Each structure stands twice: as C-alpha cells, then as structure tokens.
Amino acid sequence: MVSLILAGKSIMLTKDIRAIDILAKAVELGSLRQAALAKGVTSQAASQALAQLEDSLGVRLLHRTTRSLSLTEEGRQLLEATQPALAVLDRALTRARQAKDEIAGPLRIVGPRSAFTPVLWPIIDEYCQRFPDVQPEVQLNDNMGDWVLDRVDVGFRFGSPPAEGVIARPLFRAQLIICASPAYLRTHGVPRSLEELAYHRCSVFRHPGTDAIFPWYVNMGGEIQTREFPPTVATNSTDIEVEATLTGQVIAQLSSLSAAALIREGRLVPLLTEHVASHLHLYAYYGSRKAQPLRVRKFIELAVERLTDNRELTLTTDELLTYSAERLNKSP
C-alpha cells in the first residue's frame, strides 16, 4: 500500500513539473501554442496539463485570451519559487546526458583471480593508456555475486554463462593442461598414463570462495571426465600452484592462461596431451547495450577485440605435441 501511495505521488509530481515547465515556456514565448511546439506536445495536451495543475492547486495561474496571456499573482509567485529548482534539475539532466558520452569516470570491473594478471590486466592497462580519465575499480572474485547490487559495469568469469539478466559474450576456451618442469621429470620420471599419476607428486586447487577441491578435468576421447589424485600440495592460489610446478615440487593441471607462455619458454612440459580439456569458456558479461556509458562500451569493445580466440593464451594441438615431444626427448 505504501509503495502504491509513493508511486502515485511520484506520478503527480512528474505531471506538476511538466506543467510548470510548460507554464514557464508559455510566459517566455507569449503563447501556449508556441510553448507546446517547443516542448514537443500538442496544444491540447499543454492546455490540459496547465488546467490540471490549476485544478490541483485551486488557483488560476494564467490570464488567457485568444491573443495574449499573462501570469496571475499566484502564477508569478509559483514560477519565482520553482524556477531555481527547475534550473538545477535541467542542468543535472543535461550533465547526465553528456556523461553518457564521456570516456571518463569510474569503471567497475569484476574478474576471477586466476585470470587477472595474464588476461585482464593487459586489457585494463591498454585501455587506461588510451583513456587516462577513466578510473578502473577492479574486484577479484571467483564467485558470480550480484552484479546489479555490486554496481558492476563489466564482469568476466569462466564456466557456464552468467545468470539471466545480463548479456554474456563468450571470448575463448581456456585449456587445462597437465604440466611438469624439466627438473621434476629428471628426478621423478615421466608419467605415461593417467593411472601412473597416482604414483606422482600432484597438486590440487581449492576454490578460494568455498574451499572445495577441484578435481582434474580430462578429455577422454571427446568426453570430459574428472580424476582425483592424492595431493602433495593443495592451495587456493594459482600463483603458488604455478611456482610449485616450476620449482619441480609437483605435477599440476594448469590453465593455459598461466601455462601457455611458460611452455613456449621451455620452463614447463605438457604431459599426456591427448587428455587436454578445453571446455571452459571465458565470458564477458554486462548489462543493457542501450544504457551503457561510452567508457563502458569502449572497454567491452577492446576486451572483445583482444580476447576473442586469443592464441597467446592457448596452445594449438601441434604446439602441444611439439613441445611435449621435444622436451620429453631431452629428459633422461
């Protein structure tokens, strides 16, 4: 009931403001018909809006004849009292319209921790160099959250598309690659099958939000299955997992976001490449295209341009086979 009353008052206030605006324009132009044209309404609608305002106030605001009009004393007092507030409102609305087309102001971005450094930061860095008046506000969160309540402009996440109510744009598929360092392989040998991994030092990743252990996802002839191994190292940090792998402590299943460059540099070796899983899409998500400020739209355009099917963040089948064969052949 309260909400209905408030809604009704809001509608009445909007009508009153519109009528006062028409009244001021009519006095300025000396004609109600000209005021109607200036405000983009019919003469009948303008006259009706003014009559409704007079009825609600119980006073006459204009003396009208077929050739002229003039304010009554009540009309003069009303305009004198309301014009400063209407001028402030008009400036605020104009500023809001202009701000929509400015590339400046805060830009709220949400992304997963695992993707920030290798994927998102280069985009943000390039964007800020182009548009230095934008202030990015970055939140790293592996949970989806409520993008409306969190006032998110652009978000990124892996997995399935985000919930309804947002636009989801798939960018590329990340790979999950079983990796080890050359030093680990020299010390512990090379696993030749998934079953042999049970006898190796493996790492597992814990979800930073839920603390749940992620299984390893493996491709079995086109079907994605899960495997679990006794962990030597467990962590909720992708950086620590990568470091543990690089220093020869463990074999890990790493995202290509972290592993692709290290494999190309020879610091990691891809193993059991026939089981690489690539079922996880990276999505960009955002609200209505129509209501986006220009600073948001330009950032989305740059992210889509740089990340769609990005080859630097994934390895081709030929690369996986080549890097695996070359480095395994060098291992004793």
Distance (Å) of CA 116 to CA 36, 66, 113, 189, 203: 54, 70, 5, 33, 21
DSSP 117: I
Distance CA 200, CA 230 (A): 9
3-state secondary structure of 70: strand
Other C-beta atoms closer than 10 Å to the C-beta of 252 total 29
Backbone φ and ψ for 195, nearest 5 degrees, come out as -65, -35
Tens of pLDDT along the chain (332 residues)? 334 333 344 445 577 788 888 878 877 787 888 878 888 888 888 888 888 887 888 778 777 766 667 778 787 887 777 777 776 666 665 555 555 556 888 999 988 877 777 788 899 999 999 999 999 998 887 665 555 545 788 888 887 666 666 788 888 889 999 999 999 999 999 999 999 999 999 999 887 767 788 899 999 999 999 999 889 999 988 889 999 999 999 999 999 999 999 999 999 999 999 999 998 888 888 877 666 788 999 999 999 999 988 888 899 999 999 998 767 766 55
pLDDT confidence of residue 84: 76
Other C-beta atoms closer than 10 Å to the C-beta of 309 total 10
pTM of the full structure: 0.66
161 in Cβ contact with 225 (< 8 Å)? no
Tokens representing residue 306 in the block: 């740089």
pLDDT confidence of residue 5: 33
Which residues neighbour 68 within 8 Å (Cβ) at sequence distance 6 or greater? 30
Distance CA 84, CA 78 (A): 11
Distance CA 60, CA 50 (A): 10
pLDDT confidence of residue 263: 96
Q: Tell which residue, 118, 96, 65, 107, has the closest CA to residue 239.
A: 118
Cα three-residue angle 37-43-49, rounded to 5 degrees = 105
- DSSP assignments along 271-320, one per residue: ESGGG-EEEEEEEEEES-STT--HHHHHHHHHHHHHHTT-GGGS--HHHH
Q: Torsion angle, CA of 288/294/300/305, rounded to 10 degrees?
A: 130
218 in Cβ contact with 227 (< 8 Å)? yes
62 in Cβ contact with 71 (< 8 Å)? yes
pLDDT confidence of residue 26: 78
Which residues neighbour 250 within 8 Å (Cβ) at sequence distance 6 or greater? 180, 184, 201, 202, 203, 232, 233, 244
The residue type at 2: V
**Radius of gyration of the chain from its Cα atoms, rounded to whole angstroms:** 32
pLDDT confidence of residue 300: 92
The residue type at 99: A
pLDDT confidence of residue 165: 67
Distance CA 315, CA 91 (A): 54
Which residues neighbour 166 within 8 Å (Cβ) at sequence distance 6 or greater? 147, 155, 285, 286, 287
pLDDT confidence of residue 1: 38
Distance CA 15, CA 128 (A): 43
- DSSP assignments along 187-199, one per residue: HH----STGGGGG
